[in-house]
Amino acid sequence: MINQNKQYDINDSIKIKSSILQRLEPVVLNEFSSGDFHQVNMRDIAKKAGVGYASIFRHFKKKELLLFWFVDKWLSELIVRLTDHLLGLEDIKEKIRKIIWLQLDFYNRNPKVGRIIMITVPLNIWMQDKTYRQTRLTEVMLKVLTEGREKGKLDPQLPTTLMLDVIFGMIRRTFTMWIYRGQKGDLTDQAGQIFEVCWKAIGDPDKDK
């Protein structure tokens, strides 16, 4: 969530008041998670948020920049939690189990964010923005996977990027079907099974785990 006592950097030269972001955040979340991406426009967002259109345009020249700035902000919560929870763990299996559980828990608590990332926003549009790489999240996960390879716990024939794709792919599919089936139960109820599938795919098949 937005820190009320902070100004946020949009680029190297412009800062935006937290009071503006606070009004924009719920509108951006609702508009992009429930409507047609192509029908959403910044003038409607400004009106519903009670913010001048010129104020938004000064910081975000188009709706994609506005949306993906917030996506990056929302996902930063997940990155902080992942980093904190992994600090006390040594076992690679438990680290990967925790990575999967925390991501499912995040989307369980923030289903609108999940809808934006995985359902409502065309992938080809997000791929054009630098936030698509999710550098910080990817670095955290690749660090764990690289450690697992070095310790001989993961399949030496699989590149770490493919292991990463397996985990992300399972989480994306699990979330999408959870939404499709009416959000029955908690996403975290499936964490154990998802982990087992992922572990069978990336764990070293020649060693007893």
List the beta bridge partners of residue 15: 9
Residue pLDDT, tens place only, 62-98: 999 999 999 999 999 999 999 999 998 999 999 999 9
The pLDDT assigned to 13 comes to 44
Q: Evaluate if residue 184 carries a pLDDT over 90.
A: yes
Q: What is the C-alpha separation between 203 and 209, in angstroms, rounded?
A: 8
**Reported confidence tier of residue 58, pLDDT bands at 50, 70, 90:** confident
3-state secondary structure of 15: strand
Strands 7-9 and 15-17, bridge-based pairing: antiparallel
Q: Which residue has the tokens 């910081």?
A: 59
Domain ranges of the chain: 7-61, 72-202
Residue pLDDT, tens place only, 125-182: 999 988 888 888 999 999 999 999 999 999 999 999 999 999 999 999 999 999 999 9
Structure tokens at 167: 């985990």
The pLDDT assigned to 204 comes to 87
The pLDDT assigned to 206 comes to 77
Q: What is the C-alpha separation between 112 and 100, in angstroms, rounded?
A: 19
Q: What is the CATH number of domain 72-202?
A: 1.10.357.10
* Topology annotation, domain 7-61: Arc Repressor Mutant, subunit A (1.10.10)
Please compute Rg for the chain using Cα positions: 19
∠49-54-60 over CA atoms, to 5°?
A: 80
The pLDDT assigned to 207 comes to 67
